Amino acid sequence: MVKIGKLELGEFPLLLAPMEDVSDPPFRAVCKQNGADLMYTEFISSEGLIRDAAKSVQKLDIFDYEKPIGIQIFGNEIESMREAAAIAAEAGPDILDINYGCPVNKVACKGAGAGILLDIDKMVSMTAEIVKAVNIPVTVKTRLGWDNDTIRIVEVAERLQDVGIQAISIHARTRKQMYKGEADWSYLNLVKENPRLHIPVFGNGDIDSPEKALEYKNKYNVDGMMIGRAAIGYPWIFDEIKHFLATGKKLESPSIEERIAVTKKHLDFSVEWKGEKQGILEMRRHYTNYFRGMPNFKPIRTEMVTADSYEHVCHLLDQVADQYADYVF
C-alpha cells in the first residue's frame, strides 16, 4: 500500500499531473471518474495568493468528489511561499505540493519552478519552511536537474525527505529539455535504490499507453506514476492502465458515444463552475483532443470553437454522435 502520510492510495497509484490551464475542476472531475487516484490543482502563484489575486484564489477551488487532492504552489521567495502554503492549506486539501519543475521562462528564469534547481540549498530551505507552515503532508514535483551537468536528483530527493516531504514526483527530463526528447527514467531507478530513501517516488514523463506503463513499472521500480499530457482529451487512460496492469489485457477504446458523454460531462462541469460564457470559452481547448484522429472533423471543430452558447455546443455534439455513429477508433 502506497501512503503519503496517512493517506492510502492503493498498491500502484496513478496521479493526474498539475497542468496550467488544463487541470481545473472540470477536467479533474472527468479524470477522477475514469480512474485517477490522486489529483493536483493547476500550479498557483505564491505572490498571487498572498496578494489575494482573483485568478490565483479561484484555483484554490476544490470539491469533495475530487478527494484526495493536492494544491500545488510555486514561487521564488521563501517567506511568500511559506505564507502561501498556509493560505492553501486553509482550503482543505489532503496534500500541499511544491512546484520545482515548471520549465517555462516566465517561471524558471525568475528562480521559481525548475529555476530553483540551480540553487539546491535554497530549495531545501524553502521546503523546510513550508513543511513547518502546514499540518498536512507536503510533496514535491521536480525535474532531474537544470541541464545534464546539474543532475543531482538522488541527493535532492534525500535532502527534501530529510526536511519533511512525504512523497516526490519526478519528471524525468531536465529543464533544458523542456518537453522535448525522451524522458530518462533511469535516474528514477537510482533514486529508488538509495537505501536512505523511504518516501514514495512517482515517475512522470512519456507515459502514454498501458503497455509503456507496465514496462516502466517493472523496469524502474517507481511507486506510482503521474500522467499529464496523455490524459488531455483522454481521461480513460487511468482506467486503461489499471486494467492492463491487473489483467495484461487492453480495454477497448472508448466509443463515440462514450466520448460524447464524457465531453458533455466536462462541459457541464465547466459551465457550472465558471458560468456559461467563461465555461464554454475554456472548454474550446479540449474539443480537438477528445475527437483526435476523426476524419473530416475540421468543419465541426471550427464551429465548436466558435459556438458561444451551451445549447449550440450540445447540438454540435449530437451532430457528431449522429455523423460518426459507426466510426471505430
Binding residues for FMN: 72, 141, 171, 228-229
Based on C-alpha coordinates, what's the Rg of the chain? 20
Phi, psi dihedral angles at 201 (to 5 degrees): -120, 120
Phi, psi of 284 (to 5 degrees): -60, -30
Cell of 238: 487511468
- Residue 81 CB: number of other CB atoms within 10 A? 24
Report d(CA 314, CA 329) in Å as an integer: 22
Residue 197 C-alpha cell reads as 530513501
Which are the contacts of 92, defined by CB distance < 8 A and separation ≥ 6? 62
The span from the CA of 297 to the CA of 191, in Å, is 45
SS3 3: strand
Joined grid coordinates for residue 5: 502520510
Omega prior to 68 cis, within 30 of 0: yes
Alpha-helical regions (H) of 177-325:
186-193, 210-220, 237-247, 256-274, 276-290, 298-304, 310-323
∠2-36-297 over CA atoms, to 5°? Answer: 155
102 is an active site residue: yes
Between CA 95 and CA 120, with CA 125 as vertex, the angle to 5 degrees is 100
Query: Which residue ranges make up the annotated binding site?
Result: 72, 141, 171, 228-229
C-alpha–C-alpha distance, residues 95 and 88, integer Å: 10
d(CA 19, CA 59): 12
List residues with catalytic annotation.
102
